[in-house]
Each structure stands twice: as structure tokens, then as C-alpha cells.
Amino acid sequence: MTSYDTHDASVERLSRLQSLAPDPRRAELVRVRCCTRLGRSRHRTKRIAVTNRFRRGVLAAVVVGGFCLLYVASLVTTTLGVHRVFQ
């Protein structure tokens, strides 16, 4: 068998294959599934963004509050030290 014979045999086998046509029902199912998944992904992204915004707000409030408490404690300590309350 020469390379031409092999090529002819391959062409003959390929010619016997059934050609596939697009399946509109399956394409629609895939579209619906993709749209559903994209919708869930968008919803999840929005939910995560809201959660992160809330966390950042709480963290900022805690940090600012901590510095305020530290400042007030330092102010009270300095004031009491100046008036010699602890001596």
C-alpha cells in the first residue's frame, strides 16, 4: 500500500461520515444555561461588593474610634498629670 492508497482510503472513510447539522434545541438550552450562570455570577458579584463595602466601613469606624479613644485617654492622662492629681 502506497501513501496514495492510504490517502484514498482515508478520503473514502471520511466521505461515509454523516455530516452534522446544528441542533437549535440544544443551542437554546446552552444559551439559557449560560444566561442563568451569568445572572448568578452578576448577583454574587454585587453581593460581594456590598459585603466588602460594609466591612470597609466597619473597619474604618473601628480604626477611627480606636484613635479617638487613644487621643482622649492621652488627653485625660496629660490633664491629670498637669494638675498633679496622681502625686
Q: Is the pTM of this model over 0.85?
A: no
Quick one: how far is CA 80 from the chain centroid?
Answer: 52
Single-letter code of the amino acid located at 75? L
Residue 59 lies in a domain: yes
Residue 55 lies in a domain: yes
Distance in angstroms (rounded) separating the CA atoms of residues 6 and 11: 9
Residue 1 lies in a domain: no
Residue 12 lies in a domain: no
Residue 45 lies in a domain: yes
Full residue range of the structural domain in which residue 28 is found: 23-82
pLDDT tens digit sequence for 5-46: 677 778 888 888 887 888 899 999 999 999 999 999 999 999
Residue 17 lies in a domain: no
Q: pLDDT-based confidence at 73, cuts 50/70/90?
A: very high
- Listing DSSP states for 6-46 in one string gives HHHHHHHHHHTSPPP---HHHHHHHHHHHHHHHHHHHHHHH
Distance in angstroms (rounded) separating the CA atoms of residues 27 and 33: 10
Q: What is the number of domains present in the chain?
A: 1
